Amino acid sequence: LFDEPGKMISREYLPNVAEFLKQYAAKTGRQIIMVTHHEVLADVADVGYVVKQDNGVSEVSRNV
């Protein structure tokens, strides 16, 4: 589980982090669950979900 893995990384290096996570998952056969606000990191996901909050109510939808 990664909570904001790109939080303290400058934008220019985010593609490197994304590629590392993708390769790590492929080589180890492990799933990665990640929370992020960075599209660069989210784009490497096989499946993604978006959580939005409106008037204190969270809405979860699958990002296709």
Length in residues, the chain: 64
What pLDDT shows up at residue 63? 86
Q: How many CA atoms lie within 13 A of 49 on its CB side?
A: 9
Residue with tokens 């492929």: 26
* Phi then psi dihedrals of residue 56, to 5 deg: 80, 5
State pTM to two decimals. Answer: 0.79
8 Å CB contact between 35 and 6: no
CATH of the domain at 43: 3.40.50.300
DSSP, res 36: -
Give the chain's domain count.
1
pLDDT at residue 22, rounded to an integer: 96
**Residue range(s) defining the domain that contains residue 36:** 2-63
Location of structure tokens 């590629």: 19
Checking if the pLDDT of 64 tops 90, the result is no
